[in-house]
A and B are shown apart, each in its own frame.
Chain A
């Protein structure tokens, strides 16, 4: 129960941060990337400040033996600079550039009651689910062939 409440409180903090910062506003996001046009540098400061706090905080937190509610820190094990990482990131940027929505910006935007956020998130979840189905199918075929 305590861990559910804590996760909700952390989610609320994240959502308020996104909303205040402007990351939930597609017009502002697109303008950050439009250096040749209506440039708005705000998002650079959002990422810089979030990154600075996270980098300092992680230094202290990751020195501890374990997190409060878990037996270990769940850090990504994959270290490979592989094709899915590069291609996936490139594809993500194309979608972000078309819509101005990234996952972390769009989920809090749902709480603003904006229809465009709901349309985007619906399509994004379908995209994640489709990609996952394809990857599972490919993995299954690979194991059957060996």
Chain B
């Protein structure tokens, strides 16, 4: 099994440990709550200033051909979302733990599946799971319940029935 792990600084392995083919991760409540708060603030700010749902699927789709006329703020938001973690690790020296236990072939297959799913489902974790639930949108409540369910089911099948990819 192809296990790749590392931090952006390659300096610390303290947050995860290899146990056979399973990767355990530490429960990080403070990081989770502070990161989640920032995600929420960005969501509110995009609505307050641009009147837009902070959904990664919708924002990205407008940047693919036929490119939408309002591509400026979209490209700018995406650029910022990529630059944010770069700033965090390179400028502020913050360690961001990262580990992807999935072989490349499955990343490609899974990526295609995610792309098709979020396009027809009109959204993903950010658009439905945060913005939509915050508005109590019935579509988003249904979508979130379904994708959380199929994700958990897939992880169960992959890890406990197949025994890993």
Contacts and interface: CB of A to CB of B under 8 A. Distances in A.
B137 to A, nearest CB: 7
Contact of A16 (B32, B88, B156): B88
B133 to A, nearest CB: 6
A140 to B, nearest CB: 13
B80 A11 contact: yes
Contacts of A16: 35, 38, 84-85, 87-88
Given A84-B120, A122-B111, A127-B112, A7 B24 contact: no
Given A49-B40, A101-B111, A67 B79 contact: no
A92 B121 contact: yes
Nearest to B136: A55
A57 B154 contact: no
B82 A132 contact: no
Interface string B82-94: 1111111100001
A142 B97 CA distance: 48
Interface in B69-106: 72-74, 76-89, 94, 96-102, 104, 106
Contacts of A5: 76
Contacts of A72: 51
B117 A95 contact: yes
Contacts of B107: 99, 101, 116, 119-120, 123
Nearest to A34: B155
Interface string A34-63: 111110111111111111111101100110
Contact of B143 (A43, A69, A89, A111): A89
B120 A91 contact: yes
Given A47-B129, A54-B43, A67-B50, A91 B117 contact: yes
B14 to A, nearest CB: 14
A14 B54 contact: yes
A15 B59 CA distance: 14
17 contacts: A14-B80, A22-B97, A27-B99, A38-B23, A54-B131, A54-B134, A58-B47, A69-B51, A79-B139, A85-B143, A86-B142, A98-B102, A98-B158, A104-B55, A111-B85, A116-B102, A132-B64
Given A33-B154, A107-B82, 13 more contacts: A24-B85, A24-B98, A45-B32, A47-B36, A58-B134, A81-B142, A89-B146, A93-B147, A98-B106, A111-B85, A124-B115, A130-B112, A130-B115
Closest 6 CB pairs of A and B: A127-B115, A11-B80, A21-B35, A15-B84, A53-B40, A97-B154
